[in-house]
Amino acid sequence: MDLIQLPGISAPQQLTSPIYLGSHFTWGEATKDGTRIPEDCTIDGDDLSAKTIVANIILIAKELDIIRHAFGDSPITITSWYRDPTSNREVGGVRNSQHKRGWAADIQIDDYEPRQVAAKLSETWPGGLGDSVYFTHLDLRQRLGLAAARWDYGNA
Ligand SMILES: [Zn+2]
């Protein structure tokens, strides 16, 4: 049975369970099919609890649902969301990656080129936005008091 236990949420969740009531995004998508369960970690000297990471996942899920609607309710594919510290190292993420906080997602939107997605979101997205030909990275770094950031991964 594909049930996972998430810190701060009392009932076990199915991988197909929406992250919050009515969301189009599932816990399976946020946790890479349950292989990346939020765990306590330290980032740049900041202690981050697993419960906070779960709350952060819910925060960006709400933003992703808003984006999904803004793009005509087109389905969104997640290519990367939460990364525990070990997974982040394995995929070559930067040490202080926003993915470790749970509030970063790399997305593809059906019927839109990633470049189009980035161009449209860049006007209003208050956090980090990375543009590539394969996906768009979004994060909520503004919640750390950081300025909005824009970058281009090039064609890699
Ligand atoms: Zn990313």
Q: Report residue 3: phi and psi, to 5°.
A: -110, 140
| pLDDT mean for each 10 residues of the chain (156 residues) | 91 97 98 97 95 98 98 98 97 95 98 97 97 97 97 82
Burial class from Cβ neighbours inside 10 Å (0-12, 13-18, 19+) for residue 44 reads exposed
Give residue 93 CA to ligand 1 midpoint distance, Å. 8
Asked if 15 contacts 67 with a C-beta cutoff of 8 angstroms, the reply is no
C-alpha to C-alpha distance for 106 and 121, rounded to whole angstroms: 13
Give residue 101 CA to ligand 1 midpoint distance, Å. 11
The reply to whether the predicted model has a pTM over 0.85 is yes
C-alpha to C-alpha distance for 105 and 115, rounded to whole angstroms: 16
Q: Report the 10 Å Cβ neighbour count for 35.
A: 10
pLDDT tens, residue by residue, 110-151: 999 999 999 999 999 999 999 999 999 999 999 999 999 999
Give residue 139 CA to ligand 1 midpoint distance, Å. 8
Give residue 133 CA to ligand 1 midpoint distance, Å. 13
Parent domain of 26: 3-154
Q: What pLDDT sits at residue 55? A: 98
Q: By C-alpha distance, which of 18, 98, 28 is closest to 62?
A: 18
Q: What pLDDT sits at residue 120? A: 97
Q: What pLDDT sits at residue 156? A: 58
C-alpha to C-alpha distance for 150 and 122, rounded to whole angstroms: 8
Give residue 80 CA to ligand 1 midpoint distance, Å. 7
Count up the domains in the chain and report the number.
Answer: 1
Give residue 12 CA to ligand 1 midpoint distance, Å. 27
CATH code at position 66: 3.30.1380.10
Q: What is the DSSP string of 17-70?
A: SBSSTT-S-BHHHHTTTTT-----EEETTEEE-HHHHHHHHHHHHHHHHHHHHH
C-alpha to C-alpha distance for 70 and 150, rounded to whole angstroms: 20
Give residue 104 CA to ligand 1 midpoint distance, Å. 6
